[in-house]
Amino acid sequence: MKKQINNPFILALKAHNLTVEIHHHSAYQIVLSNDTPFTSTINGQLCERIHGFLIKPQVPHFCVAEKGSINVLNIEPYSNVGLELSGRFGPNEDHIVFHSPTETNTFFQTGKDTFDIYTIIDALLSTLQTASYDERITRIVEYIKANYFQQDITPQTFVDMVFLSPSRLAALFKQQTGSSISKYLLWTRLRQVIYLTLSQKDRSLTDIAYETGFYDLPQLNKYMYEMFGMPPKALKHNSDLIQVY
């Protein structure tokens, strides 16, 4: 049985022999090689034969990994894990490059000698404070998991569910997750879009947009590009080269 990525604000992908054009996005991104060093240009700086990098949101970059495979972790910037990552950058630093698996393990404090993406993720999540979630927040999270595809979900949906004022609910959700309810809902929908796009190649993107709670394909394109730097069409085009963890 495959281990699951147990954090709603981390989207983990594995790409094989892939070249990605220059782009930027709203998520923090960690890119790590499984095997062969690759080349990337980050904010105009050429980085050759590297084993990985961590970049802030909105930093332009592209990768050339035509041999081997790379892991890509996209992380919601205002989630607790994204906020923790923000503290790892130095003054005026917008990216951090790893030149070897050893540097990667040292940076993420895995305590391991060999590279494994799940070890990296576990080490990243272990830096977060253990939270005891309010029962009302848990109810909202479970509702979103079960009903994310409904297009009529509004902030009032959650207010009516837990009997809190909009401002109090927004503050409580952000306190416990680091992010807003709307971003939680968006990430849940986009994760499902990516899963369906990669696993059901014959499905039309319009059908997938409707099935995951978006009003239409243009709305999905907008949020997908904003968050991950690529429209779903590009993901579908490369579906033979990319898999979701």
- Which secondary-structure segment (H or E) carries 244? strand 242-244
Burial class (CB in 10 A: 0-12, 13-18, 19+), 113: exposed
Return the percentage of the chain with pLDDT > 70, whole number.
Answer: 97
3-state DSSP assignment of residue 14: strand
Burial class (CB in 10 A: 0-12, 13-18, 19+), 118: middle
Residue 1 pLDDT greater than 50, yes or no: no
The neighbour count for residue 57, using CB atoms within 10 Å, is: 18
Q: If you average pLDDT over every residue of the chain, what do you get? A: 91
Q: What is the pLDDT of residue 49?
A: 95
| pLDDT tens-digit map of 142-165 | 999 999 999 999 999 999 999 999
Q: What is the pLDDT of residue 163?
A: 92
Domain ranges of the chain: 10-126, 135-233
Residue 65 pLDDT greater than 90, yes or no: no
CA distance 241 to 243: 7
**CATH number attached to the domain at 135-233:** 1.10.10.60
Are 227 and 190 within 8 A, CB to CB? yes
Residue 174 pLDDT greater than 50, yes or no: yes
| pLDDT tens-digit map of 181-235 | 999 999 999 999 999 999 998 999 999 999 999 999 999 999 999 999 988 998 9
Residue 92 pLDDT greater than 50, yes or no: yes
CA distance 177 to 188: 14
Question: 0.95 cut: is pTM over it?
Answer: no
**Dmax (CA) of the chain:** 55
Q: Can you name the CATH fold of 10-126? A: Jelly Rolls (2.60.120)
Burial 3-39 (b: 16+ CB within 10 A, else e): eebebbbbbbbbbbebebeeebbbbbbbbbbbeeebe
